[in-house]
Structure 1
């Protein structure tokens, strides 16, 4: 079970540390999504790996119990926005790391236009300027669910919100 106060590692490290293609791809993802370090890429890779492993297991098994598990896996992926409505279990095998990275709060803050760059979006999230449905979220790696996507905004007492409103009033 492990120690209750010591969290388990949520990622797997690469099997070989000096693979040039992997390093280039990780650097590209870190730059594109404004990540802090490669550990965040590894977390996303581990999530995708686990989803794909579960899908392979469910595709190989045929029983009434796996039908319920299929629905649960697909429901989870659709709710989180990683897959679209009406997706099949075979679509889980086509998931990529970028599918998971696109659902991060940091990325969606940038996509919605609340920040000019992904790095600025990360800083705004960490400093507590961003809220989801009025709740302050200060984790840039928070996976935003499909229903929460339109509730992203500034925290009500954020000085950033006041500055932006003042700038809009001046125009």
Structure 2
């Protein structure tokens, strides 16, 4: 397994499209009031940790960058952006209703849609993109990204195969600390 610096990984807060079940991919929608609260919770979590010397790197997509601005306010400055942290590409299905696509395609779940999407990026390409990004990290970092990209990054950091994507924790309003190949889920209460 590669040796990576310690990282904290955040998924953006809830968006309007998360709430209505629309797939976003490279599209964007605004944070909901709950998404703003979740981003503030992430800030409260991060403030309890020593982050001197940590870089902050966010996906340039609006929902992630807004989450980064809220979650890192008074914690880390400046916030860099890197397109490698963007969400997995959904091709022709970006903006579509998740439940309707599952019904139409017979996909076993929402995760399967990322592999089936016409013109989509797929998991193998996403993993390659995330591996390149992680190999280029120059030191400890706080990464603000998206649901599927966050899971892939944490799979790589913990030395797990892509097949475990469905099984690795996810969530909004939490922070994952990964160091030495081990992941820890950090919450307000823990």
Task: State the TM-score, normalizing by the size of structure 2.
Answer: 0.26
Higher relative contact order (CA 8 A, sep 6+): 2
Q: Which has the higher strand share?
A: 2
